[in-house]
Chain A
Amino acid sequence: MKKISIILCSAFSIMFLDGCYPDDFLKDELLSDTSVEFLYNSEEGISNAVVGLYSINREPYERDWFNGAIPLILTAKSDLAAGIDGEISLFSNCFWGCSAGDYGSEAAFGYFWAHHYRIIDISNSIIKGANNLIDQGLSSDKLIQNLAEAYVFRAHSYFTLFRLFRNVYIKTSPTTPETAFDRPDSPSSQEQIFELIRSDLNFASENLEFNTQAYGRWNKGAVDHIRAKVEIWEGNYASAASIVDDLINNSPHQLVSIDQVFSGELNHNESLFSIQFERQTIGGGSWQQMNWQTVSHYSAVPGLKQSIENGGDGFGFLSLNPYVIDLLNEYSTDKRRDHYYIFEYKYNDEKTLPAGKSIGDPLNLYKRVAANDEFFLYYKRQNPGVIKFLDTNVEPTDRMHSKNVMVYRLAETLLIGSEAHLELGNTTKALQYLNSVRTRAGIPLTSDISIEIIFEERARELAFEGQRWYSLKRKGLLYQYLMDHMNDDLLNSYYERNHVNPKNVLTPGMIHLPIPQSQLDLLGENYPQNEAYN
């Protein structure tokens, strides 16, 4: 009926140029999309937006760029990795990521920059919206918890951005169409940045519980762990030590047995924060390819095929380098070689078994020698791999894994505590924390302690979990450790044949990542690039 009246009426409107149309006839309406306004104006909206943040936080792990290399880039740039093949190796050998305008810097570092600032802008909106609701008298536990989670996301992203790029600027209010084209001219000072991070984390620490109602959300343990990292970054060893002591003594968190650390959903007492995947489920994320990147391509050898026992599907793009392998081989009793890493790939295929081999024999076909470039096949197919990301529930031939990814766990807290106490001269406590990690790994207690020893333990315990690059950087060790250990000199000279030896490119200033040129172009004229890239 309404339509008929429009037809009739519009017939007359041609003469009067005046509508018989409703006022909102030309209104643009959201017919199947959620409005952004909804997200920040109600408790329900805010809780939706916070869940969205967790989902965005997972994105780097499920990016299929560079064969899923994004979550491993900092590892590839650390002193423990050997970049063997694929795009990820280009970050190890400085073909990518060691200048401001190259493709790797643009794509990967540009993504880090955008990703964390996106989390920050959404957190800003949530914080503003939630505080408005609180001002209006709403203050349910749920709202306070969501607000605390938003503070954690914001603080964590600022902390990450600062550690990656150093020259970052703070914004604490949401971007609007009016402010979108502002061109910040200078970075914020470290004091400003850390003040914001501390205040955000303190709110969260005070308002979150150790036991959250849903596994995978930020909890007080994870927040205190980050607080300890913030303090030790700035060398506030007393604060760091007291946060760690508090977490060790007063929380339900404790180390679990070595076979539990990376098993199943990672939902155990040692776990502080992890990225959640759920296979073939809406909201479960797509998949990660970290196992495929870091387990060797043993299946190319006759007599071996992919199996869960051998570490699933691997392609050997990035792996442990001789430095960390030697550390792991230091003690024959070290259980981590079997539970965190895979040191032996075993013959398991009757059909293609070569003469002289039997099922269960370890693969030992290649030597790490320069002759005929044999070391390359050794790295590609036989070198020890990392099984911290292995999904034992998928077909062994499947490279797409839905295993949760560990981000923070108590073993690192203990090693931070050990370092803080050592710096404070409290050797007993430092040894106690260090030895609790060593004991769990099945290696002898030590009575000898130094920063170097702690960093060796960190390497064995935490290799490829994404923290190494930051830890060395904060301690001022990154450049030297890279020059001493990066990749392997066989690989470094191998790169030089076609490009350069990364050790000849690396400069001390490169401990800060370049701000991607495309972003720098959009920033203010005087916004500084990090010196190594000017």
Chain B
Amino acid sequence: MFNFFKYSVFGFFLFCSAFLFAQKISISGVVLDDQNNPLPGVAIVVVGGKEGTLTDFDGKFSIEILPETILLFSYVGYDSQTIQFNTSVIDVEVILSLGNRLDEIVVVGYGSQRRGNIVGSISTVDVDDAKQIPTINVSELLRGRAAGVQVNLADARPGGSSDIVIRGNVSVAGGNSPLIIVDGLPFDNLNDVAPDDIQRIEILKDAASTAIYGARASNGVILITTKRPTEGFTSFTYSNFLTSQTLTRNFDLYNAQGYFNYKMDAWRARTGLSNPPSSVVWDDYEIDLIENGNYVDWQDLALNDALLQSHTISASVGGSKTKFYTSFNYFSQDGIIPNSSYDRLSFKLNLSHQLTEKLELESIINVQDSKQSKETGGLFLVNLSPIARPYNDQGDLVKYYFGEENASAINPLWDQEYSDDLSDISLIDLNLRFNYEVAPNLTYSLKGFQRQRTLNQGIYRSSQHSAGDEGLNGLGVLINSSYRQSLLEHILNYKIVHNKHDFNLTAVHALDEQYSIYNQIDKSDFVNDALNFNGLASKILSNYRSVTRRRVLSYLGRIRYAFDDKILFEGTMRADGASVFAENQKWGYFPAGSLAFKLDKLLQNLELDQLKFRLSYGSTGNQGINPLESLGVAIYNPYSFGTSVVSGSSPSTRLRNPNLKWETTNTLNIGFDFGFFNNRLNGVIDLYKANTLDLLLDRSLLSSTGYSVTRFNVGELENKGAELTLNSLLIQGNNFSWDVGLMWSTNKNTIKSLTGETLIDPLTGEEYFADITDTSGRRLSIGQSINSLWLPEFAGIYQPEDFQPGSPINPEIGAKPGQIRVIDQNEDGIIDIQDNIFTNADPDWFGSFNSKIVYKNFDLYFDVYAIQGVKRINSVLADGEFWKGEKNGPIVPYYRDESPSTIWPKPNANAAWLRHLNSFAAQDASYLRLRTLTLGYSFGSTLKEYLKLKSGRLYFSGTNLLTLTNFLSYSPEQNLGAGIFPETMNFTIGLNVNF
């Protein structure tokens, strides 16, 4: 009642004043930044009024206002300014300076926060720098952009993806993928966001920040905010880029002559003859090929430079009541391997509308349609013999590259020609949110979200293809799957500000359901090949259907408290119920608390812009397991008696665990945020220790139980690490600026405890804790990292002198010079698993360094990424067929009797020769890479005026230009093996214009 009276009186005075002083004054001038560059698009509004304008391309504006009016000049990223005008002024010059980073608004779980008031460990990714990589694989945009965030290339294929691990693997079997939240909505695939739509990316790393997401937050949270319009500001943007992708590799393959010699060497070793008869080494068709000079360079033949392009058009419209951002993106990528490509059309609409003074409606719509084509059958060219004939005399492809007589040597190009693997994926996201101001400072939001993704995949091997011939008459696989996620959230928010006390309370209730259906039909005996997998066929080879559902119910509350802007506290409590756990183990409870001191404000005399100390501790959960693991599941297992088939079923080899429960990670984080010299040097240091309890483990069972594995909660895993981020604006002048950034992270992963079962060493009688093996074959042992290789230790190559009497080396039984030597740990003369040792495969550290130089309209950016101490088994070197000379491979200075190598073994065509290849092939995959080098030109005022643009930038960029590593591969992130799609070096030209 009182308020109503107050507003009425206030309104009455305003009303009167408008009539009394209708004499307007006119103001005009220019708005500049602190380097005297004009700022276009600055919003100028009358404080308390409705009039307003924008600056033009040259920063100029003019406006008519009443005297004694205050104008507010505001522009994103800059500090706003207010100026009162009493009389008309021409040529007023307003200078806006770059905003203080600390006032920047950072998105946090269920809300936002001033950067200066952040209590947890949160990294913000510089999106503009990140977008220099031409890709829609958003994970790759994050590589090297935030401390503690490790990105591993999973699939370099067009439309492929990468894995993200934040602060090490906290789980063995529960998955280590972070939770992805885009505009408050959970995303199951980071690549569903179009990079051009991204406005901000924040990464929440400690429990204090992530606990609000409890259920799936133990692996960290990636928060993405897409673009939103600025009120009163309308703009259109067009951006594109065109990229050329080129194969890059750090090894050479044997050519025909080289391979001939290599294989002969392998047979010399096998037979002991200095000149083994060619009829023993080569098949007759190979001898023909050699005599006729039929040689081929497979990589040259099959891999071609390929193009990638992207076009985005977007509009950002900020009306006073209705605001929207909408974009349309077309992305198209051809792969360097034939038959591989990816095309995507995506549409986005972010809409908000003020329905009444108290009720706001927000809506997000994403629609995407993508098509992926994959090469079939893992085209791996490295291993193919260069002595081959893929084309006949007429220049047509032939099916067998060794000739008709050898039906096992199938020309991969032939198979590509006669096969298809096409996927059609469509995605629709619909989100509606109502925000209602229940009372001053109390808001209620209702959020509903539905995602529907459908996949239609068809794979066809025609009757000409090696897998569809021999009377099969074509082989087709049809896959349909759909995924539906529904989310409902109620959010209450309440703020209290009282003197020096600032409270913010949030309560949320959420319901999340994911429902998947998968259908697959394999069939053969098609009418003909004309209709591809769309044809009809007479034989159903298999049909499979799987339906799964998972549900999570959550209740959570958060309190934030700030005292005098000096001491900050935040507490969170969350309860989650997840359907995937056992009947009485559904609920998990995840508390967290954090405290921060703004030392710069507490110790007022310090010449610091910021010095904040943060401390947090909290729990998060992991439910990243498949449904049904607490239940007994049977697999379909029919049998044919004579010609009649009868349905049968067998229990799966995974034993149910009726006590399956949450895995919990407790994280302690200590951090400092600091800024000196007007924040020109700023940085963050974080130290953390995360302990995961009740590990969800896939534990191998004694196979005489009749089962192979069960999911189990047991043991403890620890991740300890440190992260450093440093940014410095080294030089800032009128025409020239230079800034550098550095990120460095290290993480140590240690298994603290396992099942608790002990064994007795038969030799020493000592009791020790038993190791366990998980289903991916990893050996888990207390004190080791979960990513350990468990192999005999490589100790070089046996030399002739090792077999001399008096040699300190005691060769294993049957060993010969030129063979791989490993260490016989128990000195029993036999190498077996008792001689295996653990080698940590995790990196010691990884980091990146980037730098940006701006000179007038030109900008130059580069970033370097390094990872140190990674071990990886290189499949191509672990492949016995290569060392037998049966397959081609990288040229290496292998052991020869006349020049014995101490690190490369001797090839030998006898399989029994090839021992301990994995120990040998477990190689250091550390690398240093110049990831990006970009040169940009921002349009000057003349060009902008001529083209009627608000802004424009043209750039050239190179990706993966230089890599230093000893690991032989297309990319040191991936071993060289079948099915690996080569990563490429890319050259890009791109344009962004704003009008």
Interface string of B448-463 (1 = CB under 8 A from A): 1000000000000000
Question: What residues on B are CB-neighbors of A352 within 8 Å?
Answer: 405
Interface string of A1-34 (1 = CB under 8 A from B): 0000011001101100101010001111111111
Question: What residues on A are CB-neighbors of B353 within 8 Å?
Answer: none
Q: A30-B631, A33-B634, A35-B631 are in contact. Are A395 and B470 (CB under 8 A)?
A: yes
State how many angstroms separate the Cβ of B728 from the closest Cβ of chain A.
46
- A27 and B634 contact, CB distance less than 8 A: no
State how many angstroms separate the Cβ of B873 from the closest Cβ of chain A.
15
- A55 and B814 contact, CB distance less than 8 A: no
Measured in the bound complex, the distance between the Cα atoms of B819 and A500 in whole Å is: 14
Measured in the bound complex, the distance between the Cα atoms of B540 and A282 in whole Å is: 7
- B639 and A175 contact, CB distance less than 8 A: no
Q: A27-B579, A101-B833, A394-B471 are in contact. Are A498 and B648 (CB under 8 A)?
A: no
Most buried by A among B284, B639, B643, B657: B639
Question: What residues on A are CB-neighbors of B524 within 8 Å?
Answer: 280
State how many angstroms separate the Cβ of A268 from the closest Cβ of chain B.
12
Binds B, one of A110-118, A329-337, A428-436: A110-118
Binds A, one of B76-84, B417-425, B548-556: B548-556
Chain A's interface size range is 35 or more
Interface string of A38-52 (1 = CB under 8 A from B): 110000010011111
Measured in the bound complex, the distance between the Cα atoms of B819 and A498 in whole Å is: 10
Q: A10-B488, A90-B911 are in contact. Are A499 and B814 (CB under 8 A)?
A: yes
Q: Interface residue count for B (Cβ, 8 Å)?
A: 108
Binds A, one of B275-283, B378-386, B733-741, B801-809: B275-283
Binds B, one of A221-229, A255-263, A372-380, A454-462: A372-380
Q: A118-B703, A376-B280 are in contact. Are A51 and B642 (CB under 8 A)?
A: no
Interface string of B642-662 (1 = CB under 8 A from A): 111111111101011111000
Q: A101-B833, A180-B655, A500-B813 are in contact. Are A49 and B650 (CB under 8 A)?
A: yes
- A28 and B580 contact, CB distance less than 8 A: yes
Which B residue sits closest to A176, measured CB to CB?
A: B655
Binds B, one of A232-240, A440-448, A475-483, A513-521: A513-521
State how many angstroms separate the Cβ of B411 from the closest Cβ of chain A.
15
Measured in the bound complex, the distance between the Cα atoms of B645 and A258 in whole Å is: 29
Which B residue sits closest to A517, measured CB to CB?
A: B833
Measured in the bound complex, the distance between the Cα atoms of B492 and A53 in whole Å is: 57
State how many angstroms separate the Cβ of A35 from the closest Cβ of chain B.
6
| CB within 8 Å of A: which B559-591 residues | 577-581, 583, 586
- B648 and A282 contact, CB distance less than 8 A: no
- B542 and A100 contact, CB distance less than 8 A: no
Binds A, one of B60-68, B265-273, B307-315: B265-273
Q: A34-B634, A52-B648, A177-B658 are in contact. Are A497 and B270 (CB under 8 A)?
A: yes
- Say yes or no: is A217 at the interface (Cβ < 8 Å to chain B): yes
Which B residue sits closest to A179, measured CB to CB?
A: B705
Measured in the bound complex, the distance between the Cα atoms of B967 and A208 in whole Å is: 63
Contact among B586, B632, B638 for A55, CB-based, below 8 A: B638
State how many angstroms separate the Cβ of A526 from the closest Cβ of chain B.
9
Question: What residues on B are CB-neighbors of A249 within 8 Å?
Answer: none
Question: What residues on A are CB-neighbors of B708 within 8 Å?
Answer: 114
- A397 and B508 contact, CB distance less than 8 A: no
Question: What residues on B are CB-neighbors of A50 within 8 Å?
Answer: 648
Question: What residues on B are CB-neighbors of A17 within 8 Å?
Answer: 555
- A499 and B760 contact, CB distance less than 8 A: no
Contact among B276, B632, B659, B833 for A37, CB-based, below 8 A: B632
Binds B, one of A72-80, A119-127, A339-347, A355-363: A119-127
Measured in the bound complex, the distance between the Cα atoms of B638 and A213 in whole Å is: 17
State how many angstroms separate the Cβ of B520 from the closest Cβ of chain A.
12
Question: What residues on B are CB-neighbors of A184 within 8 Å?
Answer: 704
Measured in the bound complex, the distance between the Cα atoms of B645 and A282 in whole Å is: 7
- A276 and B507 contact, CB distance less than 8 A: no
Measured in the bound complex, the distance between the Cα atoms of B622 and A372 in whole Å is: 64
- A214 and B631 contact, CB distance less than 8 A: no
Measured in the bound complex, the distance between the Cα atoms of B280 and A395 in whole Å is: 28
State how many angstroms separate the Cβ of A28 from the closest Cβ of chain B.
5
- Say yes or no: is A470 at the interface (Cβ < 8 Å to chain B): no
- B637 and A56 contact, CB distance less than 8 A: yes
- B641 and A276 contact, CB distance less than 8 A: yes
- A26 and B910 contact, CB distance less than 8 A: no
Binds B, one of A190-198, A298-306, A320-328, A412-420: A298-306
- Say yes or no: is A467 at the interface (Cβ < 8 Å to chain B): no
- A28 and B645 contact, CB distance less than 8 A: no
- A26 and B471 contact, CB distance less than 8 A: no
State how many angstroms separate the Cβ of B494 from the closest Cβ of chain A.
13
Question: What residues on B are CB-neighbors of A397 within 8 Å?
Answer: 407, 470
Measured in the bound complex, the distance between the Cα atoms of B633 and A278 in whole Å is: 27
Q: A14-B490, A519-B703, A525-B759 are in contact. Are A278 and B640 (CB under 8 A)?
A: yes
Question: What residues on A are CB-neighbors of B642 within 8 Å?
Answer: 214-216, 265, 267, 276
- Say yes or no: is A421 at the interface (Cβ < 8 Å to chain B): no
- B633 and A30 contact, CB distance less than 8 A: yes
Which A residue sits closest to B545, measured CB to CB?
A: A32
Measured in the bound complex, the distance between the Cα atoms of B649 and A39 in whole Å is: 8
- B471 and A395 contact, CB distance less than 8 A: yes
Measured in the bound complex, the distance between the Cα atoms of B511 and A280 in whole Å is: 45
- Say yes or no: is B700 at the interface (Cβ < 8 Å to chain A): yes
- A113 and B703 contact, CB distance less than 8 A: yes
- Say yes or no: is A508 at the interface (Cβ < 8 Å to chain B): no
Question: What residues on B are CB-neighbors of A299 within 8 Å?
Answer: 405
State how many angstroms separate the Cβ of B688 from the closest Cβ of chain A.
31
Contact among B277, B542, B657, B704 for A113, CB-based, below 8 A: B704
State how many angstroms separate the Cβ of A101 from the closest Cβ of chain B.
3
Q: A95-B911, A280-B541, A519-B703 are in contact. Are A51 and B637 (CB under 8 A)?
A: yes
- Say yes or no: is B547 at the interface (Cβ < 8 Å to chain A): yes
Question: What residues on A are CB-neighbors of B543 within 8 Å?
Answer: 282
- A519 and B704 contact, CB distance less than 8 A: yes
State how many angstroms separate the Cβ of A4 from the closest Cβ of chain B.
11
Question: What residues on A are CB-neighbors of B644 within 8 Å?
Answer: 214
Measured in the bound complex, the distance between the Cα atoms of B641 and A253 in whole Å is: 19
- Say yes or no: is A54 at the interface (Cβ < 8 Å to chain B): yes
- Say yes or no: is B710 at the interface (Cβ < 8 Å to chain A): yes
- Say yes or no: is A350 at the interface (Cβ < 8 Å to chain B): no
- B509 and A518 contact, CB distance less than 8 A: no
State how many angstroms separate the Cβ of B656 from the closest Cβ of chain A.
6
- A31 and B548 contact, CB distance less than 8 A: yes
Which B residue sits closest to A57, measured CB to CB?
A: B639
Question: What residues on B are CB-neighbors of A306 within 8 Å?
Answer: 407
- A498 and B908 contact, CB distance less than 8 A: yes
- A216 and B641 contact, CB distance less than 8 A: yes
Contact among A27, A95, A175 for B705, CB-based, below 8 A: A175
| CB within 8 Å of A: which B512-559 residues | 524-525, 539-543, 545-549, 551, 553, 555
Measured in the bound complex, the distance between the Cα atoms of B650 and A281 in whole Å is: 19
Question: What residues on A are CB-neighbors of B702 within 8 Å?
Answer: 180, 183, 519, 522-523
- Say yes or no: is B860 at the interface (Cβ < 8 Å to chain A): no
- A118 and B637 contact, CB distance less than 8 A: no
**20 A-B contacts (beta carbon < 8 Å):** A10-B511, A14-B507, A30-B628, A32-B548, A33-B546, A35-B632, A39-B634, A51-B646, A90-B912, A175-B707, A177-B655, A180-B710, A280-B524, A283-B648, A302-B284, A373-B271, A377-B279, A398-B471, A500-B813, A500-B814
Given A517-B834, A523-B704, 13 further pairs, Cβ under 8 A: A26-B578, A32-B546, A32-B547, A38-B634, A48-B647, A52-B639, A52-B649, A114-B704, A114-B708, A118-B706, A276-B641, A280-B541, A394-B471
> Measuring CB to CB, which residues of chain B are less than 8 angstroms from any residue of chain A?
269-273, 276-277, 279-280, 283-284, 405-407, 446, 448, 469-472, 488, 490, 492, 507-509, 511, 524-525, 539-543, 545-549, 551, 553, 555, 577-581, 583, 586, 627-628, 630-651, 653, 655-659, 700-708, 710, 755, 757, 759-760, 770-771, 773, 813-814, 816, 830, 832-834, 908, 910-913
Q: Which 8 pairs across A and B sit closest by C-beta, in order of nearness?
A: A121-B706, A51-B648, A101-B832, A36-B632, A283-B638, A114-B703, A52-B650, A14-B509
